[in-house]
Amino acid sequence: MSSIDRYAVIGQGLGHSRSPQIHGLFAQSTGQSMQYGLIDVPAAGFAAAVRDFFAGGGRGLNVTVPHKEAALALATRLTPRARRAGAVNTLAPGAATDGSALLGDNTDGAGLVRDLTVNLGYALTGTRVLLLGAGGAARGVIAPLLEGGVGELKLHNRTAARAQRLAQEFADLGAIASVGDAAGGEYELIINATSASLRGELPAVPRGACGPRTLCYDLAYAASETVFLQWARAAGAAGALMGLGMLVEQAAESFLLWRGVRPDTAPVLAALRV
Ligand code: NDP
């Protein structure tokens, strides 16, 4: 077994992942000795791959599309924010030394809110927000957005029943509801939390949702602008941004959980943008 602490991101179709580079830069800047790899598995192989990784001494996993809800089921203990989200994007060993106990956390929402409010200086308080998608990423960001002061949060998803269920699940936290194809006017912020961008597809957006006061934010990140952001510009949005800042910020939260030190994110974000 290798003596260096091992971490990885686990997902399906990880060709686009920048997580190894981000955690490599965090490790360098904080003087941590660790290595970070990629584990690409379909849903059927997820549980076995996680168990093998931790049984072999692995110290932590970032969990990405499409495994966040499956990771929740595997964790034997959850942080309060992971329990609230109903999705896990970070796994760490629990108390048992044989890899059987797993702590599940969710750092996505903290990462998104930090990117919006700290990196981009966007004031969330009182805003009307439309969230597209109802998968693991959407689950992770709903509570932090409502707790971050969003005035009204509307959910729209290809499978409408999933958005309706999410709206009910988080109704105790604030003004949240699902919407159909008629959005009810322009939003100040539209967040694409679908995985459509990963396949170069445009998710359906309710009519009239995007206008000259709308900031469009795609959780997905790619070398060039996603179809959703191209659509946003064509629709006359005030701004169109990719989720690279969120990626770096959620990674920093995971790094803090694993290593007990919070890395400085600004230089890493600058390095990734070169
Ligand atoms: P999931 O597989 O859990 O959920 C996918 C969601 O996308 C579902 O709501 C699904 O709808 C919807 N969807 C998929 N394809 C389409 C389509 N063609 N049109 C409309 N809706 C579609 O994925 P995750 O929630 O884990 O990830 C979502 C995205 O967020 C990914 O692009 C991921 O890379 C990104 N992400 C980025 C992060 C960052 O740090 N920047 C962090 C976390 C995620 P349905 O319910 O109908 O199937």
CATH code for the domain of 12: 3.40.50.10860
Which tokens go with 186? 């322009």
Q: How far is the CA of 48 from the centre of ligand 1 (A)?
A: 23
245 φ/ψ angles, rounded to the nearest 5 degrees: -65, -40
Q: Is residue 147 part of a domain?
A: yes
* Rounded Cα distance, 89 and 232, in Å: 28
| One domain for residues 98 and 198 | no
Q: What CA–CA distance (Å, rounded) separates 257 from 159?
A: 34
Kindly report the protein residue whose alpha carbon is nearest to atom 20 of ligand 1: 203
Extract the tokens encoding 86: 């109903």
Closest residue CA from atom 39 of ligand 1:
247
Give the pairing type, strands 152-156 and 176-178.
parallel
Give a yes or no: residue 196 inside a domain.
Answer: yes
* Closest protein CA for atom 44 of ligand 1: 137
Closest ligand 1 atom to 139 CA: 25
Domain annotation covers residue 270? no
- Which residue type, as a one-letter code, is found at position 205? V
- CATH number of the domain enclosing 131: 3.40.50.720
Atom from ligand 1 closest to the CA of residue 158: 47
Q: Is the domain of 56 the same as that of 141?
A: no
Please count the helices (runs of H) and the strands (runs of E) in the chain. Answer: 10, 12
If you measure from the C-alpha of residue 133 to the centroid of ligand 1, how many angstroms do you get, rounded to a whole number? 6
**Alpha carbon of 3 to ligand 1 centroid (Å):** 36
- DSSP at 264: P
Domain tally for the chain? 2
User: Which residues face 34 on adjacent strands?
Assistant: 5
In this predicted structure, what is the pLDDT of residue 98?
60
Instruction: Please tell me the distance from the alpha carbon of residue 195 to that of residue 132, in angstroms, as a whole number.
Output: 10
Residue 58 shares a structural domain with residue 114: no
Give domain status of residue 97, yes or no. Answer: yes
Question: So what's the pLDDT on residue 3?
Answer: 81
Mutate to test the pocket of ligand 1, among 120, 194, 202 (most ligand atoms within 8 A of CB): 194
Residue in this structure with the two tokens 């903290």, named with its chain if needed: 110
Task: State how far Cα 258 lies from the chain centre.
Answer: 18
Instruction: Identify which of 22, 105, 195 to mutate to test ligand 1's pocket (most ligand atoms within 8 A of the CB).
Output: 195
Same domain, 94 and 123: no
| In a shared domain, residues 51 and 124 | no
52 contacts: CB under 8 Å, gap ≥ 6: none
Q: Which protein residue's CA is at the shortest distance from atom 40 of ligand 1? A: 247
102 and 191 in a single domain? The answer is no
Candidate of 14, 16, 65 to mutate for ligand 1, largest count of ligand atoms within 8 Å of Cβ = 65
Examine residue 274 and state whether it is found in any structural domain, yes or no: no
Ligand 1 atom having least distance to the Cα of 244 = 41
Looking at the domain assignment, is residue 172 inside a domain? Answer: yes
Annotated catalytic residue, options 68, 114, 156, 259: 68
pLDDT of residue 38: 97
Contacts of 212 (CB under 8 A, 6+ apart): 236, 237, 238
| Residue with CA closest to ligand 1 atom 12 | 194
Are residues 81 and 97 both part of a single domain? Answer: yes
**Phi, psi of 97, rounded to the nearest 5 degrees:** -90, -5
Q: Which domain holds residue 51?
A: 5-106+251-265
Residues 58, 153 within the same domain: no
- Which residues in the chain land under pLDDT 70? 1-2, 95-99, 183
68 a catalytic residue: yes
Q: pLDDT for 93-113, tens place per residue?
A: 986 666 679 999 999 999 999
Q: Is the same domain home to 175 and 54?
A: no
Q: Give the pTM.
A: 0.96
Q: Quick one: which atom of ligand 1 is closest to the CA of 112? A: 40
Residues 6+ apart with CB under 8 A from 141: 108, 109, 112, 113, 131, 191, 193, 219
Q: In terms of domains, do 118 and 235 share one?
A: yes
Half-sphere exposure for 264 (CA within 13 Å, toward CB)? 8
Indicate whether 152 and 79 sit together in one domain.
Answer: no
User: Are β-strands 77-78 and 102-105 bridged in parallel, bridged antiparallel, or unpaired?
Assistant: parallel
Residue at 227 is within a domain: yes
| 33 in any annotated domain | yes
Query: What are the distances in angstroms from CA 101 to CA 47, 51, 242?
Result: 13, 10, 35
- Same structural domain for residues 236 and 124? yes
